Amino acid sequence: MPLKLIHPKDITKKLKTTYNRAEHLKAYLNNETFQLSIKFKHLSEKEIEQNFMQIRDWIEELKQSSFEIEFQSIAYRSLGEQSIPKILVLDRDEFLKQLSNTREFKKHTALIQKTLEAFPCLEPLLKEKPQFLMENDKVWEQLLVVCDYFITHPMPNLYIRELDIEGVDTKFIEKHKKILDTLLCAILDQEPTRLAQNGFEKRYGLKYDLPTIRFRILDEALYIGGLSDISLPLNEFMGLDIGCDKIFITENKINGLSFPNIKNSMVIFGLGYGVESLKNVKWLESKELLYWGDIDTHGFAILSQIRGYFPHIKSMLMSDEVIEKFKFLAVSETLSKRFLGELDNLTQEEYRVFENLKENVYGEALRIEQERIRFSYVVAPLSRVRLPSHQ
């Protein structure tokens, strides 16, 4: 079996890996001497005898390479004295020279000095993760400029597009939120931000595109300027109380559009798990709330979610009665996409239906979508404003 020997290409790969881990910069930042050592396999007399041609070619390949490898003379009983590769030792300068990265190192150390002059508090971060600087060296100075802006202009209450930062285009911050948050958290001594759902904008006091709430006013007497079907950004919806008593929340868009007229009522629709956007709408707390979701695991998960914000909300058309009547219209809920976790905010009856869905009591992965329920079945109780109550 051929021996596994270290060839020049393997040495180069080892050097590149070490470089990408920024070991040389860690040594620089910690005022330590950088040295990389690669030891070669000790070859027994038997191994040389059995793989003589392979070893001969290998030694010649190493000698022809650019690496200054230390050899040692070993006297073998049957082979006599042989010069065998022992170790390769590279100091920082030779290490960088072999990779043609001497100029990059000078650039990186200059950026380190500039960073520490502007933000001495970033030293621990650079010592721990100098690759952050290496990976972003082309934009590092711009990143420092942006950090300085947020430190000198905390919570600007502007859109990113409105920030007037010298040398930084309007898309720069959008593109580099992650590294900017890493730097700013280190400067401000904060935990990293969850960037999803506009986390960066919320943390640093920026405006952002708020979710849009679409609703229909179901009582003509409450129309706003003659309008009944309205979409508003969340911040405007939070300040709107149209004076209705009852609010229906349903996911399906067509069901929201076709909801019958009901006195002192409105319907909010099309949010799905986005019902989270309603949690800080304080005026909803004083209304009678009813949620109508699909009869599937996610429908009950959303119900549990919104009841976490509004404990008094009731469900409608999500019962055994509806399942029994419209089971023939059921479709299959994809097994890989089902919600199989635990829900904490369901009534006893709702939880029983949810568990039955999880356990396939009604049939394999049963799902009854809202729009499959016969419209007359929906309209009849609503028109009489007589809705199912839950204990």
Give the tens place of pLDDT for each residue, 344-361: 999 999 999 999 998 888
Does residue 293 share a domain with residue 376?
A: yes
Asked if the model's pLDDT at residue 385 lies above 50, the reply is: no
For residues 217 and 247, what is the distance between their CA atoms, to the nearest angstrom? 9
Q: Considering only CA atoms, which of 388, 389, 385, 390 is closest in space to residue 259?
A: 385
Does residue 343 share a domain with residue 252?
A: yes
Section 117-139 average pLDDT:
96
What is the pLDDT, as a whole number, of residue 220?
93
Is residue 388 a part of any domain in this protein? no
Asked if the model's pLDDT at residue 389 lies above 50, the reply is: no
Sequence letter at residue 206: L
Reduced to 3 states (helix: H, G, I; strand: E, B; else coil), residue 154 is coil
Give the tens place of pLDDT for each residue, 246-263: 999 998 899 899 999 999
Asked if the model's pLDDT at residue 381 lies above 70, the reply is: no
CA distances in angstroms from 4 to 40, 42, 47, 58, 113, listed in the order given = 10, 12, 11, 11, 43
Q: Return the half-sphere exposure (C-beta side, CA atoms, 13 A cut-off) of residue 175.
A: 9
Q: How confident is the model at residue 173 (pLDDT cuts 50, 70, 90)?
A: very high
Does residue 347 share a domain with residue 218?
A: yes
Q: Which helix H or strand E contains 290, and what residues bound it?
A: strand 288-292
Does residue 259 share a domain with residue 191?
A: no
Tell which of 181, 203, 225 closes a domain: 203
What is the pLDDT, as a whole number, of residue 44?
82
Does residue 144 share a domain with residue 17?
A: no
Number of structural domains found in the chain: 3
Does residue 114 share a domain with residue 58?
A: no
Does residue 126 share a domain with residue 94?
A: no
Is residue 391 a part of any domain in this protein? no
Q: Best-predicted range by mean pLDDT among 43-57, 266-280, 367-381? A: 266-280
Is residue 316 within 8 A of residue 288, CB to CB? The reply is no
Give the tens place of pLDDT for each residue, 293-307: 999 999 999 999 999
Is residue 258 a part of any domain in this protein? yes
Structural domain harbouring 318: 212-383
For residues 250 and 272, what is the distance between their CA atoms, to the nearest angstrom? 8
Tell which of 175, 203, 231 closes a domain: 203
Is residue 1 a part of any domain in this protein? no
Q: Considering only CA atoms, which of 341, 278, 340 is closest in space to residue 306?
A: 278
Asked if the model's pLDDT at residue 121 lies above 80, the reply is: yes
Give the tens place of pLDDT for each residue, 62-95: 999 999 999 988 877 767 778 889 999 999 999 9
